[in-house]
Chain A
Amino acid sequence: MNDLPDGIHDMGGMGGMGPVEPEPDEPVFHEPWEGRVYALRRLLVPWGLGGNWGSFRFAQERVPAVDYLRFSYYERWFTALVDVLRANGVVSETELTRGVADPEAPVPARRERPPRAPLGFGLLDFDVPARFRVGDTVRGRTVPPPGHSRLPRYTQGKCGRVVRDNGVYALQDTDRRGQQLGDFPQHVYTVRFTSRELWGARGAERDTVYVELWEDYLERA
């Protein structure tokens, strides 16, 4: 099972992916089922089943690498959605195969927030001290723990400068089973990395990459 943060989804800087292929006059949804998958996921938020971005993203990240690359975007969403619903006991494989609800299966209680993450998503009005200030040089931590993380591999061990403190947000990381760890409210910083620091000779002299990073992902450099 993929449970490491730097899996196939962590794509920044990878080679071999080929050209970007824009589609002229692309529709919002290519097939009606894509729209249904998107809408189902949105409407399951009040049930505490879709609102946890960490768990939902991790469910996508656990799709094996070969499938991750082969699946269309909404195939991945559907796979992840079913994964989350099955893990929470909302639907069974038998129900999915037969296409009908099992009347004996209990319906989950509606809850606005997933367990262990009552702060959810979004800017928090919390007075948490900031470890770093604008202008500080910081380094992306190496080897993040198993589970979902928002620390891209290409920033790990690289130095950048804090250019903005975005305020306090709940950490969205999960454990290796996809359960959100808790809230751990902390500052999220926008860190400016030079292209040369990230990519060496392949970088461009003037270019920069700006990444938003939770405080736990950073150390003083």
Chain B
Amino acid sequence: MAGSEHKGVGRRKFIKETAAGAAGMAGGAGAAGAAESAQERHEHDHDHQVVPDDIALRVRALESILVEKEMIDPAALDAVVDAYENRIGPRNGAQVVARAWTDPEYKARLLADGTAAIGEFGFLGAQGEHMVVVENTPEVHNLVVCTLCSCYPWPTLGLPPVWYKSAPYRARAVIEPRAVLREFGVELPDDVEVRVWDSTAEIRYLVLPEQPAGTEGLSEEALAELVSRDSMIGVARVAAPPESAA
């Protein structure tokens, strides 16, 4: 425990060291003074109303405090960032979609029990524990939103884009999905039913987009290349490859 290691370090020494630490972090003379005035400012604020100015500095401060307390391992932080920047993303979902397009039995399993079928790829875990896959057809177009916050299937799509978490998308997707889709370039005829899925509880949704015409002969790998993140949220169609590769 961090507490026992620091046994014997007195309050006065702590304050002296911390002032130096803050100065070092801000990287210049006068930074300690700036830190003092920042503290003063925060003390005048009420709880929950701290405007995160200098946020990069404050995040670094929080990280180093938690590392010092031995609550967090910085290497583990690096690993989480690396996983979401490089491995856990929409390429995972695209593989699921491509398999569903090429293997009718897999597609049937996917639509019957999304969690189990996605689990065949191993794309489960945080925010992907309970998956439902909804299929776009010529009659039905599905669109996924989280009006209350930012719920999104992390293991299959990674972390959501800013627009998905933004006020305009969250406010409008449920009341005027067709207008939102139009802005994304998807025009739907009146006789198509638009189904909006608001992720309010613990189910996370993946849209199975329609396979573009003329791609029937393509391999699973080639098809996965065509599948965009937006098509699996439901705000885009999957476009056929520019040249008829089939």
Interface residues of A (CB under 8 A from B): 1, 9-15, 17-23, 26-33, 35-40, 42-44, 47, 57, 59-60, 62-64, 67, 69, 71-73, 75, 78-79, 81-83, 85-86, 90-91, 93-108, 121-123, 150-152, 154, 166, 169, 188, 190, 195, 198-199, 202-214
Q: Are B22 and A35 in contact (CB under 8 A)?
A: no
User: What is the bound-complex CA distance between A72 and B6, given in angstroms?
Assistant: 37
Q: In the docked arrangement, what's the CA distance between A36 and B101, Å?
A: 37
Which chain B residues lie closer than 8 Å to A72 at the CB level? 162
Among the stretches B68-76, B102-110, B210-218, the one at the interface with A is B68-76
B222 CB within 8 Å of chain A: no
Instruction: Tell whether, in the assembled complex, residue A64 and residue B174 are in contact, meaning their CB atoms are under 8 Å apart.
Output: no
Please tell me which one of the listed residues B14, B39, B167, B184 contacts residue A69 in the complex, with CB atoms under 8 A apart. Answer: B167
Which residue on B lies nearest to A1, using beta carbons?
Answer: B48
Q: Are the C-beta atoms of B198 and A211 separated by less than 8 Å?
A: yes
Taking the nearest CB of chain A, how far is it from the CB of B187, in angstroms? 14
Q: Choose among A62, A67, A105 the residue that contacts B51 (Cβ–Cβ < 8 A).
A: A67
Cα distance, A27 to B162, chains bound together (Å): 10
Given A64-B49, A79-B50; A17-B198 close (CB under 8 Å) = no
Asked if B63 lies at the interface with its beta carbon under 8 angstroms from chain A, I say yes
Tell yes or no: B18 within 8 A of A by CB.
yes
- Interface positions, chain B 151-203, Cβ under 8 Å from A, are 158-159, 161-163, 165-178, 180, 183-184, 190-203
Q: How far does the alpha carbon of A26 sit from the alpha carbon of B160 in the complex, in Å?
A: 10
A212: chain B residues at CB < 8 Å are: 198-203
Further contacts, 6 of them, CB under 8 A, given A100-B21, A101-B69, A107-B71: A10-B148, A21-B168, A35-B81, A100-B22, A103-B7, A213-B201
Given known contacts A13-B171, A211-B198, is B14 in contact with A104 (CB within 8 Å)? Answer: yes
Complex CA distance for A58 and B58, rounded to whole angstroms = 21
A12 lies within 8 A of B126 (CB): no
A102 to B2, CA, bound (A): 10
CB within 8 Å for A99 and B18 given contacts A22-B163, A29-B85, A209-B174: yes
B78 to chain A, nearest CB (A): 8
Q: Which residues of A contact B129 (CB under 8 A)?
A: 122-123
Chain B residues positioned under 8 Å from A36 (CB to CB): 59-60, 63, 77, 81
The 4 closest A-B pairs by CB, nearest first: A103-B6, A12-B147, A98-B18, A212-B201
Interface residues of B, count at CB 8 A: 98
Q: Of all chain B residues, which has the CB nearest A62? A: B48
Taking a contact as CB atoms under 8 Å apart, the answer to whether B175 and A19 are in contact is: no
**Residue on A nearest B13 in the bound complex, by CB:** A103
- Is there a chain A Cβ closer than 8 Å to B209's Cβ? no
Task: Check A26–B174 contact: CB distance below 8 A.
Answer: no
Q: What separation, in Å, do the CA atoms of A37 and B66 have in the docked complex?
A: 12
Asked if B201 contacts A28 (CB within 8 A), the reply is no
Complex partner residue of B166 from A20, A42, A64, A152, CB under 8 angstroms = A20
Find chain A residues with CB under 8 A from B246 CB. none
A19 x B1 contact (CB < 8 A): no
Judge whether B72 and A40 touch: CB under 8 Å: yes
Residues of B within 8 A of A17 (CB): 166-168, 171-172
CA–CA, A158 and B55, complex, Å: 41
A19 surroundings in chain B (CB, below 8 A): 168, 183
- Answer yes or no: B30 CB below 8 A from chain A CBs: no
Within 8 Å CB of B112, what residues of A?
Answer: none
Nearest Cβ distance between residue B39 and chain A, in whole angstroms? 4
Q: Is B25 an interface residue (CB 8 A)?
A: yes
Other-chain residue from A71, A195, A209 in contact with B52 (beta carbon distance below 8 A): A71
